[in-house]
Every structure is written in structure tokens, then in C-alpha cells.
Amino acid sequence: MKFAVLASGNGSNLEAIIDALRKKKIKGTLQVVFSDKENAFALQRARKAQVPVVAWRDPKACKDRAAFDRALVKFLRQEGIELVVLAGYMRILSPVFVRAFRNRIINIHPALLPAFKGAHAIRDAFKAGVKVTGVTVHIVDEEVDHGPILAQAAVAVTPADTLASLEAKIHKVEHRLYPEVIGELVKGKKGDK
């Protein structure tokens, strides 16, 4: 199965995916890493692993979000992409994109959805004083941080935790869980292909 990773930032989850591919824990082909930011560190990680990268410098050059997503759908279809993996991709996908890859877009979120949706989930959970938070891998639908849940893993929040230590614990779980779910999807064990 050919898949693409869409990333906007550091790419630590991408690195975990690349590592899982090297170790044959994911049997698919990472066809391309796409970013809406040409200076995203994720692109450097992909280049180092000799994965093709594509970055569009100015998404605002498109008429609107739907036009940008139509162009991206066209590109991904030309690449033969069967699964879209969001790894820190900070653009909200339009219904145009979601419909084009219905049930074939997955995301990882640093909280136990439906709790703590949004871009600051770890901080929000920490400030709320919860005793348990975690990580969710889900199929993307037209709503933000919503869609059928494929996997969740809990992370305990201890009195000794700081925001930084909690972030580190969450990322460690993400880096284990996301490649596992991708590996299962590629083998056809999870989700609706």
C-alpha cells in the first residue's frame, strides 16, 4: 500500500514511521512526505531517509482552502496514494479533501478524544489537572479532531509531572502507537479500506 505523510512541523511522528518502515513493522511504501511549509523540519527528516518530499510555499496563493485541497488531492492521486497519514499537519482539511479520501485519512491526537480537542491538547489536559490523558489515532472526517477511533493509549499524569515531562510521555506513546496502527492498516486489519 502506498501512503503519504502530511506534516507541518518537527516531524517526530514521521521519524517514528520511517523507523518502523526500516524495521519492516510497516510493510507499505511511504511514497511522499508533503508539507504546507517549505522549512518544516519534517522535510529534512524525510530527505535524510531518502523519501521524496513536496512542499508548497504559499497555500494562500490558492483561491481558498478547497482549491488548495483539490490541488493536493490531484497530486496525491497522481502518486497513487491509498492512505493519507497526518503527522502534525496543522491545516484543517476541507470536505473536498475528506470526501476524496473518505475513510483513508488518519490522524494522531495527543489526548483521549473526545476530550481536549484542538491544537493545545497536552497543555489543556495539564492545566485541567486530569490524572489520565493519552493519545488517540482516528479516521478523519469533516469535523476537527473527530471521527472513528482506531486506537487509544492512556498516559498517567503524576503530581511530579511538568508540562514538558507530560509532553515527552505523550510523544513517546505517539511514536509507538502510530506506527503500530499504520502497520495494521497496511495489512488490512483496521479501518475501512
Kindly list the catalytic residues.
Answer: 109
Q: Is 139 within 8 Å of 147 (Cβ atoms)?
A: yes
Three-point CA angle 152, 142, 147, nearest 5°: 20
| Residue 107 half-sphere exposure toward CB, CA atoms < 13 A | 25
Task: Name 134's bridge partners.
Answer: 154
Q: Collapse the DSSP code of 97 into the 3-class scheme (helix H, G, I; strand E, B; otherwise coil) and give the result.
A: helix
Cβ neighbours for 187, distance < 8 A, ≥ 6 positions apart: 27
Q: How far is CA 90 from CA 50, 57, 72, 176, in A?
A: 24, 15, 15, 21
The Cα 152–Cα 156 span in angstroms is 13
Rounded to whole angstroms, the Cα distance separating 184 from 27 reads: 9
Cβ atoms of 139 and 106 closer than 8 Å: yes
Distance CA(10)–CA(71), nearest Å, equals 24
